[in-house]
Structure 1
Amino acid sequence: MTILMVIIPMFLLFIFFSLFLYVSKGMKFRKYFWTVNRIGIVLIGYIGLGLFALIYLFFTSNEDIKIVSSEEIQEITKDEMQFYNFFMSEKEDKFNDKYLVDEWSMEFTSDEVTLAKEVEDTYGNVFVIIDWRDDASSNEIYAKTYQTPYIFRGINLTSELTKNQFEFTGDKLLVKNPPVQQFTYNSINPKIEILENLQAMYSNNSVVDNSVTGTTFLYLNVPNHVTIIDEGELRFYP
């Protein structure tokens, strides 16, 4: 689909200019060759090509993707900061359940549990916070995963980038390296990209390009007789 969207406009542009040159055959490119009528023909053809591309995109779109506005991004950022503060202060009763994406438990066989990363440079931000409980007879850790939105240029990619992040085997909790993924979205942007980048560079607005990087929060409820070895430096200390 992406290749067709590149080839078709180029092909139509080639046909248009071929016809224009054919009509102009035999004419000398004099000083006043570009008359008002001929300039009008070129402009009408250019606009017509743009309208064709617009109609083509409209009818070939697979689904209607909701674009998150700058105002919504600002609200999300504000809400995320509040959640972050609650999480870091270990106020579990105030965690926003809309960010809860998974709830599970782990059984361990020793009194030591290791936190590790599959690779050193793990994509995105992962914060682990531990809440200790007085339960000497328990060999189970209760876990909750919270995920704040990941939005790129107004497209919400949270559900696509936060699958199967953790794995617990052999008394080791591993933050997995997500697989390489490619997402293709077609859009029409009538603005000048360079000017948008310059405006974002010199703007005091914290919301740039309708994008926000999501954060993964892992809450662990651990018996107090267990020792946590933080090899991956994932644990946050409030």
Structure 2
Amino acid sequence: MTVIMAFIPILLILLFSWFIRVGMKNLSKRIVLTKRLAKGIILSYVSVLLFAVILYELMPANEEEIFTKSDLEKLENENQVFDEAFRKNEVSKLHKDFLVEEWTHEIEGDTFHIVSSNPDYLPAKVFVEWTDSKEKRIEGKMYRTNLFINGMNMKDRIPFSKVKWEGDQLIIEMPTEQEFKYYRFSNNLAILTNNDVFPSNETVIVHGETYLYLTVPKHMNVVDEMGLQLY
């Protein structure tokens, strides 16, 4: 497809050159130019344009990978499968590629609180797996699902919620706000563009979410006043 697209400008250039020659014949009575000079101008113009096309094709590409709508539908489906597995505590189905952080922490008492740094913001979905351990050690795994905006992978650019301990409080921190600006450019002709890409006036988002999977001994108490836990 790339080779075909490369030859389209050449065909347009040749067609444009033909129109110039025909036009110059019709205007020969008004414009005083020798045939040799006219041919020289046309050949020079065509040569420059051909050189530009060839140079463009040889230039290394350093563009953002854009996923198509069908790709995004598959990624959205991955998110839904993960969410369902997380809610059902089907650990074997949790996509390992979504794991972004894991940790262990010991507390002195038998009770800890799960809180959000912002009462108006639900930073993560939380699931607690109870174990028979007699220790006071809590294990945590943080997951984050696919996040795409207009076909661009934003998972590594937009920060996810972080976890920190303060005494008996497990605080899930709201991610810092980020602002991104990007400009979309394509050299594809509209009539040849795949319908699976995005119009300039359309915004397509695959919403990624943050999940916190906790492993907690049964003898401990978990206080979750914000209702972050999934049951």
TM-score, L = length of structure 1? 0.62
**Kindly tell me: are residues 81 and 65 of structure 1, through their superposed partners in 2, closer, same or farther at Cα, counting changes over 3 Å?**
same
What is the Cα deviation at residue 162 of structure 1? 3.2
Asked if 1:216 is matched to 2:216, the reply is no
Return 5+ residue gaps in structure 2 as ranges.
Answer: 1-58, 191-197
Q: How does 1:1-238 map to 2 (within 5 A)?
A: 64-122=63-121, 126-136=124-134, 138-163=135-160, 165-188=162-185, 193=200, 196=201, 209-237=203-231
What is the Cα deviation at residue 122 of structure 1? 2.4
Return 5+ residue gaps in structure 1 as ranges.
Answer: 1-58, 198-208
Q: Is the 8 A contact 1:69 1:210 kept in 2?
A: no
Q: Is the 8 A contact 2:163 2:172 kept in 1?
A: yes
What is the Cα deviation at residue 163 of structure 1? 4.3
Identity %: 25
**Kindly tell me: are residues 192 and 142 of structure 1, through their superposed partners in 2, closer, same or farther at Cα, counting changes over 3 Å?**
closer
Aligned residue for 2:39? none
Q: Is the 8 A contact 2:160 2:210 kept in 1?
A: no
Matched AA of 1:183: F
**Kindly tell me: are residues 78 and 163 of structure 1, through their superposed partners in 2, closer, same or farther at Cα, counting changes over 3 Å?**
closer
Which aligned segments of 4 or more residues in structure 1 are displaced greater than 6 angstroms? 189-192
Q: Is the 8 A contact 2:124 2:161 kept in 1?
A: no
Give the RMSD, CA atoms, in angstroms: 2.6
CA distance in 2, matches of 1:112, 1:101: 26
Q: Is the 8 A contact 2:76 2:146 kept in 1?
A: no
Residues 86-126 of structure 1: per-residue CA shift (max 9 Å, x gap): 11110112211111111111111111110101112327x62
